[in-house]
Structure 1
Amino acid sequence: MGISSSHTGSGVTMITIDYPPVNAVPVRGWFDLADELVAAGRRPDTHVVVLRAEGRGFCAGVDIKEIQRTEGFDALIGANRGCAAAFSAVYDCEVPVVAAVNGFCLGGGVGLVGNADIVVAATDATFGLPEVDRGALGAATHLARLVPPHLMRTLYYTARRISAEQLHHHGSVYEVVPPDKLDAAATALAEEIAAKDTRVIRCAKEALNGIDPQHVHRSYRYEQGFTFELNLSGVSDAARRAFLEG
C-alpha cells in the first residue's frame, strides 16, 4: 500500500498508486509520489515512466478525511504543497511519463494526468474535477491540457465527468483499451519510446516543456490561492463536511 515502483529490463519504471479503497492520497503520499518520479527520471536506466494505480480507480484526489480530522490548516497546506510537488514532478520528470488510467480520475488525479506526456486509458475511465462541490479550486490548469477551453469551463463549473472515449476524440487520450489490457498497452507504448536513444528523448522532453505555452507551475499555484481564500472564509470546511456527511 502507498507509492511503489519497479523497474523492467526494457528501460521502463512502473510507479504505482495504491491507497485503498479509492486512492484518495494523503499528504505524505503526494510527496512520496513526487520523490519516486524525480528519482526515476534521474536513473540512467529509466527511459520512460509508466504511472498507474491499483484498485477501482486511478486517483480520487486528496484525502478529504485527513484534512477534516486535522486541527488547523496543516493538512490543507500539506495537501496543496504535496499536490503541487507531485504534479510538477510528472511534468519535470527527465523522461516521458505515460499515465495508465483506470476507473475514476478525479481532482488531483487530473492534475497528474494533465501533466503527463501521454495518456492511455481503460474503457471504464472517467475524468473530472469535483472541486467546486468541495469548496475548493484547482487543477483547471491541468484539465485545460485535456479539453478545449469552453468545455473545460463547463466541466469545471458543473463538476461533471468526461469519459476516456470523449478525451480520445479530443486527442488528449492516445488510446482506449479494455481494463484488463491497460497495463499491457501502456507498457508497450512505453517500451517503444524506451527503445530509442534516451539522450535524444531526454532532450526532447526538455525541449517540449520549454516551448509549452502554459506555465503549469505558476498557474496551478495561482488557483490554489483561491482555495486558501475559501478555507479562511469557512466555505470550504462547510462543503467538505457536507460531502463527508452526505
Structure 2
Amino acid sequence: MPITSSSDGPGVAVVTIDYPPVNAFPAQGWFELADAVRSAGRDQSNRTVVVRAENRGFCAGVDIKEIQRNPGHQNLIDHNRGCAEVFSAVYDCQVPVISAVHGFCLGGGIGIAGNSDVVIASDDATFGLPEVDRGALGAATHLARLVPQHLMRALFFTASTITAQQLHHHGSVYRVVPRDELDDAALEVARDIAAKDGRVLRAAKEALNGIDLQNVHRSYRYEQGFTFELNLSGASDEIRDRFEDDLAKQRADAQKKG
C-alpha cells in the first residue's frame, strides 16, 4: 500500500509514504495521505502523528508524467485539490504532526513539512520548490514557514534547494541526524510529546493555529490560481514537455556512458 498507517507505542501514530522510486504522488495519493493524517488525528488514543517515507526521498511532489498523460485539466485540478487537502490535513490535525524528512523534500513535500509542527531531518535532506522550472506555482506559503521572506523568494525564483543543516540554523528543522537514525529520532520526539496529556495537546494545537499570523489555507489557494492561469495559457504544458525531453536526453546520455 502506498500510504500506510501504524502505531508505535501509546499515543504515537505513524503514517508512511511509499510511492517508489522517488515518492512522486499520483493525484489520488494526496487524498489518501490526507485521509490517513485526519484519521490519526481524530483517534482519541493518539497524541501525535509522525509522517515518514520510504524510498530515495521524502517527497518529489506531483507525478508530472501523470498530468502529461491525461489531456484536459481534470487531472491537474485533482492534484491541486489533493495538495490542498494534504496540507490542510497536516495543519489542522488535532494533534501535533512530526515530519521525518530524508533525501529530497520537493514541491508538495514542502507543503507537508512546512505545515507540520515539528520537522526532524536526516543529514542528507534537502528542501526546495522546483515549481518555476515545471511551469507551476504553489507552496511558497509553506516555504515561507521554513525560511525568512527574502531567502524564500531567492529559493523560489532560482528553484534552488536548501540543506537540513541550513534550516536547522533558521530554527525550522528541530534536529538533524544521520540517515539511519532518522526514524528513531522522530519517534523519540513523538514519545516525548505523547507523554503529555492528550486533552492539553489538542487544545494547544488549536490555540497555536488560532494565533498563527498567516492563513495558510487562503494563501495557498491564492497561489494555485496562478498555476491554473499558466496552464490555461499553455505555458505549463510547454515547460513540462521540455522537462520530459530533458529527462529522456539525460537517460540516453547515461546509457551511452554506461
TM-score of the two chains, using structure 2 as the length reference: 0.95
Rounded to whole Å, the distance in 1 between the matches of 2:236 and 2:119 is 31
1:47-126 aligned at under 5 Å gives the runs 47-126=47-126
What are the within-5 Å matches in structure 2 for residues 21-60 of structure 1?
Answer: 21-60=21-60
Look up the equivalent residue of 2:223 and give its one-letter code. Answer: E
In structure 1, the residue matched to 2:17 is 17
Q: Deviations over 1:42-101 (max 9, x none)?
A: 001111000000011000000101100001111100000000000000000000000000
SS in 2 for 1:14: strand
Which residue type is aligned with residue 110 of structure 1? I
Q: Which residue of structure 2 lines up, in the alignment, with residue 210 of structure 1?
A: 210
Secondary structure of the structure 2 residue equivalent to 1:51: strand
How far apart, CA to CA, are the structure 2 residues paired with 1:45 and 1:243? Answer: 45
The equivalent of 1:162 in structure 2 is: 162
Task: Find the aligned partners of 2:182 and 2:9 in 1 and give their Cα distance.
Answer: 20
The residue aligned with 1:241 is 241
Alignment of 1:132-143 (within 5 A): 132-143=132-143
Deviation at 1:7, TM superposition (A): 1.2
2:255: which partner in 1? Answer: none
**4+ residue segments displaced more than 2 Å:** none
Separation in 2 of the partners of 1:241 and 1:92? 36
Per-residue deviation at 1:245? Answer: 1.4
Q: Deviations over 1:13-60 (max 9, x none)?
A: 000010001000111000000000110000011110000000110000
**Following the alignment from structure 1 to structure 2, what is the Cα–Cα distance between the partners of residues 181 and 159?**
29
- Structure 2: distance between partners of 1:8 and 1:159: 36
Unpaired runs of at least 5, structure 2: 247-258
Residue 177 of structure 1 is matched in structure 2 by: 177
- Highest CA radius of gyration, 1 or 2? 2
User: Per the alignment, in what secondary structure is the counterpart of residue 86 of structure 1?
Assistant: helix
* Equivalent residue pairs, number: 246
TM-aligned CA deviation for residue 8 of structure 1: 2.4
Q: Structure 2 CA distance, aligned partners of 1:138 and 1:178?
A: 30
- State the superposition RMSD in angstroms: 0.5
TM-score by length of 1: 0.99
Tell me, in whole angstroms, the C-alpha distance in 1 between the residues paired with 2:129 and 2:152.
10
